[in-house]
Amino acid sequence: MDNRLNLYNTLSKKVEPFVPREDGRVRMYTCGPTVYHYAHIGNLRTYIMEDVLEKFLRYLGYDVTRVMNITDVGHLTSDGDTGEYKMLKGAKREHKTVLDLARFYTDAFFEDCRKLNIKTPDIVEPATNCIDEFIHMITVLIEKGYAYLAGGNVYFDTSKLTDYYVLSSQNEEDLAVGVREGVEEDANKRNKTDFVLWFTKSKFEDQELKWDSPWGVGYPGWHIECSCISMKHLGEYLDIHCGGIDNVFPHHTNEIAQSEAYLGHKWCSYWFHVLHLNDASGKMSKSKGDFLTVSLLESRGYNPLVYRLFCLQSHYRKPLVFTYDALDNAAVAYNKLVARIRSLKKEGSADMTAAGPLREAFIEALGNDLNTSSALTVLYDVLKSDLDDLQKRTLIEDFDRVLSLDLIRAADEKDTAGTDPELEAYILERIEARKAAKKAKDFAAADAIREELSAKGIAIKDTREGTVWELVK
């Protein structure tokens, strides 16, 4: 096991050496999707970067147990306790029951993950499986004086904590902004930051899923699920908790509040947050404009792994702006990389001693707060190095255990073509140019490129998976 990961911790606001509580074992928790709609590619940026973190930990030799919840109850559109109820809104939109909606979008989420080579966590638990655990934790919080009943609901009393804002730099002023943006205040709350642990009275009286509880028939608030599901499977101490940056407040702040009040000790050591992917107009949305999903990218001819590469090209702690031009650049980079790997022969030395320094450089790049773009640079360095072809292939395959770009498989798939890599790079470049011309509605230019290729004995065909080509004998 290799101790060389340094990771930014939202809790300390510093890059710190990563040291799990138990030597060699990592307990990792990920906030899962709210399954009321498809995931957009912004959500998936977060899951891709978390996947890289998990795989790098495994690469270093840690025994990782990763747990993810599925939010199929409780999450309201405002992220606080007001706003619309997400699952109910989705069920009405699609004339489905909440459970059918949850099942459909849970499957869709894992299908997207599969296409992006995101490993399924070891344990995936829907919130509706754990109602007894929620009731138990809420009961203990009431007994310990951290929670109170008001207007039929159970609230967490944030004034009982010495430092509620351990994770975020939120203050009363920021909260007031939230209020100005139209979030209604709940008159039952003793303090503005208090949050609902269990609802029996809400404006969502037509809520389908309700359970009996000591406080009446109702349903859980959103935050309680992650604390309970994490403790159910990973125990009282967590090494890493992950999520998108929007989860810092209120979701993770509230998770810490209730977990530590319940346990009576510190709960999680490292908090890992991925910055948002935005579109050119700003925030990524599921309701307005182009709803950017993996399926949409596929229908436009992109290989989902090109989107994964696009994410790996930038650091997870920087916001990223999505444009089709940027994705086109990633597609060119991906195809060129595959073409270069394809040109490697499968003969050479099985001895990997000479590959040591490049492997070290790869670990150093990812160990430096998961610097994936530096890790990609090391990948290019492998191709440029003095290693023989087989050593290069072996090392690239090794790096791909973390990067998961299917580089060797993609290179071998078209291996039968036996095409000269330079010719292939030229063909791929012309295909991209034709795509750009079609996008710009310059169909004459697009046709001219087809003719140009055809004159050289190269036939191209547009398919759902993108444009494919073959040499006409």
Q: Which residues of the shown chain bind ligand AMP in the complex (CB under 6 A)?
A: 31, 33-34, 42-43, 45-46, 71, 243-244, 246-247, 274, 276-277, 284
Q: How far is the CB of 34 from ligand AMP (least distance, A)?
A: 4
| Contact (Cβ atoms closer than 8 angstroms) between residue 278 and residue 319 | yes
Secondary structure (3-state) at 194: coil
CA distance 15 to 444: 53
Q: How far is the CB of 396 from ligand AMP (least distance, A)?
A: 28
- 228 lines the binding site for Zn ion (CB under 5 A): no
CA distance 69 to 227: 10
Residues that contact Zn ion, how many (by CB under 5 A) = 2
| Both tokens assigned to 460 | 């191209």
For the chain, report the end-to-end CA distance as a whole number of angstroms: 53
Question: Which residue's CB is nearer to Zn ion, number 76 or number 387?
Answer: 76
Q: Which of 226, 228, 261, 339 binds Zn ion (CB under 5 A)?
A: 226
- 240 lines the binding site for Zn ion (CB under 5 A): no
Nearest position to ligand AMP, beta carbon: 244
Q: How far is the CB of 316 from ligand AMP (least distance, A)?
A: 10
Question: Which residue's CB is nearer to Zn ion, number 7 or number 228?
Answer: 228
Name the strand (E) or helix (H) holding 124: strand 123-126
CA distance 445 to 438: 8
Q: How far is the CB of 300 from ligand AMP (least distance, A)?
A: 19
Secondary structure (3-state) at 193: coil
CA distance 317 to 368: 12
Question: Which residue's CB is nearer to Zn ion, number 226 or number 453?
Answer: 226
A 10 A CB-CB count for 437 gives 17
Q: What is the largest CA-CA distance in the chain?
A: 81
Q: How far is the CB of 135 from ligand AMP (least distance, A)?
A: 23
- 102 lines the binding site for Zn ion (CB under 5 A): no
Question: Which residue's CB is nearer to ligand AMP, number 268 or number 277?
Answer: 277
- Alpha-carbon distances, residue 161 vs 148, 156, 228 (angstroms): 14, 10, 19
Q: How far is the CB of 153 from ligand AMP (least distance, A)?
A: 22
- 39 lines the binding site for Zn ion (CB under 5 A): no
Contacts of 90 (CB under 8 A, 6+ apart): 36, 37, 96, 101, 105
Question: Which residue's CB is nearer to ligand AMP, number 372 or number 419?
Answer: 372
Q: Which of 7, 31, 363, 427 binds Zn ion (CB under 5 A)?
A: 31
* Residue 34 near which of ligand AMP, Zn ion, none (CB within 5-8 Å, type-dependent): ligand AMP
Question: Which residue's CB is nearer to ligand AMP, number 111 or number 400?
Answer: 111
* Residue 226 near which of Zn ion, ligand AMP, none (CB within 5-8 Å, type-dependent): Zn ion
Contacts of 162 (CB under 8 A, 6+ apart): none
- 256 lines the binding site for Zn ion (CB under 5 A): no
Secondary structure (3-state) at 450: helix
Binding site for Zn ion (CB under 5 A): 31, 226
